[in-house]
Structure 1
Amino acid sequence: MATIHDVAEKAGVSIKTVSRVLNGATEVSDKTRERIELAMRSLEFTPSAAARMLRGRPTGLVAVIAERLTTTPDSSEIIKGIQLVCEQLGKVMLIGETGGSAAIASRLVADMRERRVEAILYATPFHRQVELEPLMGGTPAVLANCFEAAGRYTQVVPDDEGGGYAAAQIVLQAGHRKIAFLQLIQGMVATQLRLRGFHRAMREHGVTPDAEWLIHGADEADANEFSHLSDAVDRLFAKANRPTAILCGNDKMAMRVIFILQRRGLRVPADVSIVGFDDFRLISEALDPGLTTVALPYREIGELSGRFALEQPPQEAATIHVPCVPVMRGTVSTPPSRTTAKDKR
């Protein structure tokens, strides 16, 4: 790479004169400035971002520290949201992938700070609590899709409780009262919050949930997280009193549940209504009928995180909850008016 020494030599001037041009000084003649700029172009010389920052100029660099985000298809929309803001503001986004390693995350933060990035955004593929070390120093920082217990940084997270409420409202407003909830992995932040929202919606409609119908449809202990899903669905339909609607922890689970029900001879939504979560469009739009679901606002989380970091940083750290919005398609209808012959078997 060409250096300032190379530019000075090619232009036939001193290093100090080149430095003056880089700093925007006015005491350099137009003729000399043009000669120096021509030398820069011919040598493809670009002053380093760090050097510009040392001269008091912003580098235009924004860092995203991603935790398995670049390999997760649906939540990678967070990066697209951040990129949109960067493009609008003329910034360049740098991405560092941690792979879930705290040591790598620590090294990436240090490296990005050495590059004098204007902001650091830490993003995770699912809503969870994180512990960040080392501190970001004076660099503006925002957490995307995650939060710290200490609350040192502004954090932008999905309103999972509101999402659970919205999912329940979809089937409650369609007339269902026999509602099962196949939840995500036990202990996840989203699992707990969505269940809270589900209970709130049921209370508002005067419906008492059947405790036997509140099952975890995913299992972290198994290599295949849905290996016990078929058994869970069998439990829901083992008795004469059966659910007419099933809420699922995510769209991948909902797709599998639909296939399991079809193998049992049940129709969706004529016999059982299904609601997913995420709006992972490779699934939700590919199914026939299309999957009714609740969208996780990944892109909005990324965009808001970018704006809080670069445009309007709050005076104090704040937690921003982004709404999870229902997406109505074709897997919800009114409850069946009578028990079918197949259900009586």
Structure 2
Amino acid sequence: MSTIHDVAEKAGVSIKTVSRVLNDASSVSAKTRTRIEEAMHALDFAPSAAARMLRGVPTGLVAVIAEKLTTTPDSSEIIKGIQSVCEELGKMLIIGETGGRADVASRLVADMRARRVEAIIFATPFHREIALNEMLGQTPTVLANCFEATPRYPQVVPDDEAGGHAAAAAVLQAGHRKIAFLQLIEGMVATRLRLQGFRRALQEHGVAPRADWLLHGATEAEDEFAQLESTIDGLVAGTDRPSAILCGNDKMAMRVIFILQRRGLRVPEDVSVVGFDDFRLISEALDPGLTTVALPYREIGELAARQALGGEQDAGMVRVACRPVLRGTLSAPAKAKGARR
């Protein structure tokens, strides 16, 4: 490989002048800088990152320690958000996947710090609490889509409580009062927060939630939706059935729509269905399109990157809005439509 000595010789300048160009010093004339850059290109010269670190020059590297994030299609938008900020600021993104293993996470952190990354962002595929035991030293650190019980670093998470409120408010404003809520797995942070938002929205509209219609549409079984068909049958078997069903995510909502259609029920004419996530491979592919609440994954990634690279670090939580996206699976309940005619 070519060295800085080779570049200096080819450009006809001193090693010190080449070093100044590498450090982006303004004292080098434009003509000399161009000659050195042409020599670098001709020699296929790549500056040593190790040498830059020894000189105290920022490496321009930003690390993401991800937990099964790159293999989760919908939440991988977090990575895209981080990458967009890195491109804007001239940084290079390095991603390390832990696979959910604490020992791998510790090894990755040690490796990233040895590379003198300018910041570390921890990111998870779903909103959850984590415990960081790694030695992070003075490296700026931000948590994306996750949080610590006792915060030590900035944390950027979705506002799931407001998202649950937004989903319920959408069907309430359409005229529904008989509303079922098929939630995510019991014990998840998002499950608890969205239920709080759901209850708050119903209370604001003077509607009492029915306990027998507040169910879990997903479980921890290998097939998380294995019980969904029997759950839907229990909801729609009699004449007193919900006119709208809220679902914990878009994958669940898609299955609910298919089950309802197999039972001879039309969506949204007989039952409106609302999802959560706005996973567009589903929400925009369904016909009619799925009304849902968007999880702001890309925005979470962007904000986390700006926090990590923005200087001062205040431990605290930023909640990013989850906004409703209205499409074709939500309409007024059948009786209300009949009354208008």
Q: Tell me the TM-score normalized by structure 1.
A: 0.89
**Structure 1 residue identity aligned to 2:334:** P
Distance change (3 Å), C-alpha of 1:280 and 1:25: closer
Which residue number corresponds to residue 102 of structure 2? 102
Aligned residue in 1 for 2:330: 332
Kindly provide the CA deviation profile for residues 134-187 of structure 1, in whole angstroms up to 9, marking residues without a partner as x.
132111111111111120110100000000000000111111111100000111
Partner of 2:228: 229
1:76 Cα offset (Å) = 0.7
Q: 1:14 & 1:73 partners in 2: Cα distance? A: 51
2:249 paired residue number:
250
Give unpaired runs (5+ residues) of structure 2.
none
Distance in 1, Cα, partners of 2:124 & 2:285: 26
Q: Deviations over 1:92-149 (max 9, x none)?
A: 1111111111111111111111111111111111101111221321111111111111
1:44-80: CA deviation from partner (whole Å, max 9, x where unpaired): 2222233223323211111111111111111111111
Residue number in structure 2 paired with 1:343: none
* 1:322 is the counterpart of 2:288: no
Counterpart of 1:67? 67
Instruction: State the one-letter code of the partner of 2:252.
Output: M
How does 1:47-126 map onto structure 2 within 5 Å? 47-126=47-126
Aligned partners of 1:328, 1:308: CA distance in 2, in Å?
Answer: 31
For 2:50 and 2:167, locate their aligned partners in 1 and report how far apart those are by CA, in whole Å.
49
Q: Structure 1: which 4+ aligned runs deviate by more than 4 Å? A: 3-39
Match of residue 262 from structure 2:
263
Are the counterparts in 1 of residues 85 and 305 from structure 2 also a CA contact under 8 Å?
Answer: yes
The answer on whether the counterparts of 1:119 and 1:141 sit within 8 Å (CA) in structure 2 is: yes
Query: What is the match of residue 203 of structure 2?
Result: 203
Q: CA deviation at 1:324?
A: 0.3
The offset of 1:208, in angstroms, is 1.0
Q: What is the CA-CA distance between 1:245 and the residue it aligns to? A: 0.6
Structure 1 residue 2: Cα displacement: 3.8
CA shift, 1:23, in A, is 5.2
Given residue 146 of structure 1, which amino acid in structure 2 is its aligned partner? C
Higher mean displacement: 8-17 or 33-42: 8-17
Ranges in structure 1 where 5+ consecutive residues have no aligned partner = 341-345
Partners of 1:137 and 1:241 in 2: CA distance: 60
Report the Cα offset of residue 40 of structure 1. Answer: 3.8
CA distance in 1 between partners of 2:237 and 2:28 (Å): 86
Q: What is the rounded CA distance, in whole Å, between the counterparts of 2:136 and 2:109 in structure 1?
A: 7
Would the aligned equivalents of 2:131 and 2:148 in 1 still touch at CA under 8 Å?
Answer: yes
1:137 counterpart residue number: 137
Distance 2:102 2:307 in 1: 25
Aligned-residue identity in percent: 74
State the 1:10 CA deviation.
Answer: 7.0
Q: State the distance in 2 between where 1:28 and 1:265 align.
A: 77
User: For residues 295 and 6 of structure 1, do their structure 2 counterparts lie closer, same or farther at Cα, with a shift above 3 Å needed?
Assistant: same
Q: In structure 2, give the amino acid aligned to 1:53.
A: M
Measure how far apart 1:26 and its partner are. Answer: 9.4
| Deviations, residues 203-240 of structure 1 (Å, cap 9, x unaligned) | 111111110111101011x2111011001111112333
Partner of 1:161: 161
Change over 3 Å in CA distance of 1:31–1:195 after alignment to 2: closer
The 8 Å contact of residues 185 and 219 in structure 1, kept in 2 or not, is answered as yes
SS of the residue 2:334 aligns to = coil
Check 1:34–1:260 CA distance in 2 against 1; reply closer, same or farther (3 A cut).
closer
Amino acid of the structure 1 residue aligned with 2:153: Y
* Counterpart code for 2:246: L
> Are the equivalent residues in 2 in contact too, given 1:251–1:277 (CA < 8 A)?
yes
The letter of the residue matching 2:144 is A
| 14 and 157 in structure 1: CA distance in 2 versus 1, 3 angstrom threshold | same
CA deviation profile, 1:279-332 (whole Å, cap 9, x unmatched): 001110111110000000001001111111113544x21100000000000111
TM-fit CA distance, 1:34: 7.9
CA contact (8 A) 2:269 2:331 kept: yes
Q: Which residue of 2 aligns with 1:218?
A: 218
Measure the CA separation in 2 of the matches of 1:290 and 1:17: 61
Shift of 1:12: 9.0
Task: Check conservation: 1:78, 1:301, Cα contact below 8 A.
Answer: yes
Distance 1:42 1:235, change over 3 A: same
Q: What is the CA–CA distance in structure 1 between the aligned matches of 2:128 and 2:9, rounded to whole Å?
A: 55
Query: What amino acid sits opposite 1:267 in the alignment?
Result: R
Decide whether aligned partners of structure 1 residues 21 and 80 sit closer, same or farther in structure 2, where only a CA change above 3 A counts.
closer
Distance 1:128 1:27, change over 3 A: closer
